[in-house]
């Protein structure tokens, strides 16, 4: 592979592209994280990608640690995925009718995730979570939902809420356009707070339809749940008749073939998926026990539909990706590379005397600019985000593309090599020295 950029970098074409984009789209982007709002500066516009490398419109190259925010576990343009897409597109792009590829993808998901007996394919992680919550409310006949601060489940109105004045206080809207009525049935608790969870169930037990959570958090940086927290989630929901919804849009097939629930030994009632199950194309899915899933139309009475659900291109890419993950599992390689990277980043920060902590689960990791363990949003919010921004741009100028926020996870792909990881660590040592 040719040398990556180093030192001062020209991004004039990206600058021009962003100026044009700002005249056309709100903030110049189609998803807020791409705007570099958390780190400042102009976002880089990508021209193409290959393996573990991104190429921007100015011709600069970057080692990629965002992997399209998770789905590119095999790297960009994996030959098997490209071949599957080429074959699918030669036959057509959308039919509005069933295909056998939908069956195959559903079978692969059910085979991999122990808690899923039936699955419904949708178009995004947001749609999957929205649908799972509606289903949980219909199945239980209850309205109340528990979520956790710092967990992101898509831009569903009822989930865009901020915590109230106490652990068991109803949430209030955190975005204009979200009504009080929409959010009044959502409780916001602190992640890993077992006592707060017990108190919420003690007060609202017979009103709670479901608890939705990230089994490994990736949207306040990587945060792992405690064993007691996981056990309490299962015990309290089962005892009260509420459902446990495991949001594995990010972690599904990423931290393990069976997802984070396999890694942690938990058995949710419903699971939401996305990202990897579409091989990098827009996709989502939700699934669970037969008696719950059979409430979904047309088998049951809970409405959910989508013109492009089970799209032939997304199912082709998803089937190809899951086939490789099962037949040629990369998880040992990902574990080895990710552990090497985490240790190298920690050593670089220690050598520079920079306050930090590194969190990692499988091929997801975060370098937090804070010296204590991150267990919830309260501790995550204490990070030095200004220092992270300086670190981010220092790494970018050395050809290392990191997530553009302290609170997003880094992802290692099977296309990375030990040489790539060592080059990343060497860059981090230089940048830490400058901080």
Residues 384-398 as b or e (16 or more Cβ within 10 Å = b): beebbbbbbbbbbbb
Query: Is 417 strand, coil or helix?
Result: coil
Please tell me the predicted confidence (pLDDT) of residue 1.
32
Q: How many Cβ atoms are within 10 Å of 181's Cβ, its own excluded?
A: 10
The number of CA neighbours under 13 Å toward the Cβ of 112 is 32
Q: Are 354 and 347 in contact (CB under 8 A)?
A: no
Q: Where do runs of H (alpha helix) occur along 353-380?
A: 377-380
d(CA 426, CA 420): 10
33-37, 120-124, 225-229, 278-282: segment of lowest average pLDDT? 33-37
Quick one: average pLDDT of 242-261?
98
Structure tokens at 249: 């849009």
The number of CA neighbours under 13 Å toward the Cβ of 215 is 33
Query: The pTM is what?
Result: 0.94
List the one residue out of 398, 388, 385, 397 whose CA is nearest residue 425.
398
List the one residue out of 298, 252, 297 whose CA is nearest residue 275.
252
Task: Render pLDDT for 279-325 as a digit per residue (tens, 0 to 9).
Answer: 999 999 999 999 999 999 999 999 999 999 999 999 999 999 999 99
Task: Render pLDDT for 142-172 as a digit per residue (tens, 0 to 9).
Answer: 999 999 999 999 988 888 876 543 334 455 6
Task: Render pLDDT for 385-409 as a digit per residue (tens, 0 to 9).
Answer: 999 999 999 999 999 999 999 999 9
Full DSSP string of 201-248: HHHHGGGEEEEEE-SSB-SSS-BPPPHHHHHHHHHHHHHHT-EEEEE-
CATH 3.40.640.10-classified regions of the chain: 79-327
Task: Render pLDDT for 41-84 as a digit per residue (tens, 0 to 9).
Answer: 999 999 999 999 999 999 999 999 999 999 999 999 999 999 99
The overall average pLDDT reported for the chain is: 94
d(CA 31, CA 41): 16
Quick one: average pLDDT of 372-380?
95
d(CA 215, CA 251): 8
Q: Of all residues in the chain, what percent carry a pLDDT higher than 90?
A: 89
Q: What is the CATH number of domain 79-327?
A: 3.40.640.10
Please state at what angle helix 312-327 crosses helix 100-112, rounded to 10 degrees. 40
Task: Render pLDDT for 14-48 as a digit per residue (tens, 0 to 9).
Answer: 999 999 999 999 999 999 888 899 999 999 999 99
Length of the chain: 435
Task: Render pLDDT for 180-223 as a digit per residue (tens, 0 to 9).
Answer: 777 789 999 999 999 999 999 999 999 999 999 999 999 999 99
Task: Render pLDDT for 83-109 as a digit per residue (tens, 0 to 9).
Answer: 999 999 999 999 999 999 999 999 999
Please tell me the predicted confidence (pLDDT) of residue 142.
97
What's the order of all strands across the beta sheet hosting 270-274? 118-122, 284-288, 270-274, 243-247, 208-213, 144-148, 186-189
Quick one: average pLDDT of 331-343?
98
Q: Are 142 and 207 in contact (CB under 8 A)?
A: yes
CATH 3.90.1150.10-classified regions of the chain: 12-64+330-434
d(CA 381, CA 217): 14
Please tell me the predicted confidence (pLDDT) of residue 158.
81
HEC string for 238-302: HHHCCEEEEECCCCECCCECCHHHHHHCCCCCEEEEEHHHHCCCCCEEEEECHHHHCCECCCCCE
Positions annotated as catalytic residues are 152, 247, 275
Q: What is the CATH number of domain 12-64+330-434?
A: 3.90.1150.10
């Amino acid at each position: 592979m040719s040398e990556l950029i180093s030192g001062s970098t020209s991004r004039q074409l990206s600058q021009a592209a962003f100026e044009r984009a700002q005249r056309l789209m709100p903030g110049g982007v189609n998803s807020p994280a791409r705007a570099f709002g958390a780190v400042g500066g102009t976002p880089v516009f990508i021209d193409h990608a290959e393996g573990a490398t991104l190429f921007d419109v100015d011709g600069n190259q970057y080692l990629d640690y965002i992997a399209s925010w998770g789905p590119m576990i095999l790297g960009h343009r994996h030959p098997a995925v490209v071949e599957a897409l080429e074959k699918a597109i030669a036959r057509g792009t959308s039919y509005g009718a069933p295909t056998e590829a939908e069956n195959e993808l559903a079978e692969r998901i059910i085979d991999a995730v122990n808690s899923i007996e039936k699955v419904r394919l949708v178009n995004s992680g947001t749609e999957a979570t929205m649908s799972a919550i509606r289903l949980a409310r219909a199945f239980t006949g209850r309205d109340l939902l528990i979520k956790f601060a710092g967990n992101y489940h898509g831009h569903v109105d009822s989930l865009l809420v901020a915590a109230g004045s106490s652990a068991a206080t109803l949430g209030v809207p955190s975005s204009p356009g979200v009504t009080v009525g929409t959010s009044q049935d959502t409780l916001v608790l602190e992640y890993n707070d077992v006592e707060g969870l017990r108190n919420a169930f003690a007060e609202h037990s017979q009103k709670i339809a479901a608890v939705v959570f990230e089994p490994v958090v990736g949207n306040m940086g990587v945060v792992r749940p405690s064993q007691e927290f996981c056990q309490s989630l299962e015990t309290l929901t089962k005892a009260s008749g509420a459902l446990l919804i495991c949001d594995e849009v990010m972690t599904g097939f990423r931290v393990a073939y069976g997802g984070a629930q396999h890694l942690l030994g938990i058995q949710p009632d419903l699971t939401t998926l996305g990202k990897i199950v579409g091989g990098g194309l827009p996709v989502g899915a939700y699934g669970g026990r037969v008696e719950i899933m059979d409430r979904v139309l047309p088998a049951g009475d809970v409405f959910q539909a989508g013109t492009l659900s089970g799209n032939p291109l997304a199912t082709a890419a998803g089937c190809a990706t899951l086939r490789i993950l099962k037949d040629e599992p990369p998880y040992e390689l990902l574990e080895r590379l990710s552990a090497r990277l985490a240790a190298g980043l920690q050593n670089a920060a220690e050598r520079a005397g920079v306050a930090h902590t590194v969190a990692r689960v499988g091929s997801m990791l975060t370098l937090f600019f804070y010296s204590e363990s991150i267990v919830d949003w309260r501790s995550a919010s204490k990070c030095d985000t200004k220092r992270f921004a300086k670190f981010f741009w220092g790494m970018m100028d050395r050809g290392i593309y990191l997530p553009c926020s302290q609170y997003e996870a880094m992802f290692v792909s099977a296309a990375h090599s030990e040489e790539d990881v060592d080059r990343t660590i060497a860059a981090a040592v230089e940048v830490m020295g400058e901080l």
